[in-house]
Chains A and B, each alone.
Chain A
């Protein structure tokens, strides 16, 4: 049926003028893929599905949301009221809002697994450096987008989270005060902050989509890596359609089951997806006992918090991202996949564990023990990147297979 559609007179007419049939063939149908990609490779397609869910649900939420911190009595505001109106009065508003809130957490869960897979099989290495850099850019843009979005309900955690994070800008020497006021639209987080964060929360997904587009374009130039990390022969190549369209569809189906379970049966994720304290309206006079970001931002927040000096903490956090960007050049081993790199594999698993520990610490109130654990985990995080350039000198690779 697809073949018939591409051969209609109309499709041919369009193709002669804008190459649409050629694009579909090149990017969706004939795109050559290694035959040994496992289910870890489905997370890219799944992330695209989540992006579409977020854009659609977000547009519908924006139709009923009011970005105004104007007080409406007893500590409530227009923004908070409009969210509750969506939850109670708008037809299926509760469903759209939960899809969006759970979607944010799902997006990060999927992207983190997608990145972990790339690191495990060495997909960041030549010739895929640019593909990897676009991927890390996508992560940074996602984190900015979600940070703007979390202010919008104007609850306690929205307000205080935004206050703590924007404070980071104030610590930059020289331009700190000027930058802080620019970001907030005033001295404190207030109505102007909410207005600009809403505008930026709407804008950033467009930038995100542009980078996703570039990421996919780059992939289709250098083609997918595979779990063996070697260049496949002609025998090992199959077209994307129908093989990976159906394999990804199955992956997407499994994802949607898990996602829907949260949307319908645990939409707040026991306080991990929507924090309990965010059901209290923002109160600038009442600082919550522990202000922590939502789980997907906590590892980076914990690196920031581990450093005793605020400015150095910011440098440390920025450096954590820089390390990710530099990964293709830090790793000098000619072998890609961790399947054949015993030392790298162990290091990588310890690195993943350090991110887990950082995330755990960043989610909790600081205690002396947690501070120490957080610092050790931060050191492990950076030690991984510091050791990367030297591993290949003493690592004895397992023999690589002839073909996939």
Chain B
């Protein structure tokens, strides 16, 4: 075997120059630019957002749409702007790869759109695209189980080499791009063409995995670099946990010296005051609605419609406004703000419950016995944490219970919650898994060698039945 001589003088397992920058675009929710050798790619993430056309939406999870696009001047010969079959295939496999790591269940009925544009392409462009996509998704703040890195390896001059450049790819006899998540130890994409022996494949595979671990570090560094600025801005902020907040609120209340403090009792009786509100609302004449609404608002965010002093009519607006404004710098305001802050933290609270479930599910496959206990644990857990400061919400719930419609909704919700836990969920590997299975059978590899999870088909009959029942219930609800 000849000595390996790569065109750019790299050794067999050496990466090309890799640069990652996140947040490069102003309009997109998240973006990243990746340079890998001569590859240059920009990924833009928009979403989760409303899906058009609506019939494509899935009621249980978000869909992930990656559009891989090569600009016409990105390659040697001008590429026609109309998407080629190659571009469409890459878009599809990338979509599937990323769907496996994004927590799509958190955003049912929505879409996460990712546009990947190759500004210049030179071998291994789909893996560069994946690196950019992964960084852009993280930049967009989309919850996912881990980052994905990717690299191609292949055969060049009968050697196993990493990260083939365009020319090496053309002259080489094999190419095998891999997407892999080091944090999860999951392969989310594998394509292969050419002639590999089993040993060669193993060498290439392991080489790629090692390289992706390095790529992962670069990705992290890029993200941390951008977010360190924001981190600094939050650094002084103390974590606001429910208990802390209440305590803080008490001390603040003692400190308040403002003359215009309202009695704290008001905030403790949200129900009463909200009744007052509705009453005053009714008295407001239609013609005045706009004006009244215009002037009332001043508190950043009350969580309960509590203590804005009444602004009854537009004729008194100026006078009443003043009193309103003064009244607002009160204990109640503090409590409201605290509550609001709490809300902010609460806004994350549904997430862990779902995430937990998501992962519980993985585990549950292995440990079916633990399942029941865990379901119980997790359906109750988030509520426990949230409950403390949401006494007002509870009150509202009581109110809702009076109406039959609500109680049905509640039931449904509970039901669905439980079901979602039971609903067995595995990371998707569709295309990949079938190909791998084939490969495994042919080459008599053991799954352990590759760390690949071959997906098991789950029985869905039960689930279907449940869904039917649920649909009926839902229908009834609509009729009501």
Tell whether A and B belong to one assembly: no
Enumerate chain A interface residues (CB-CB to B < 8 A): none
Enumerate chain B interface residues (CB-CB to A < 8 A): none
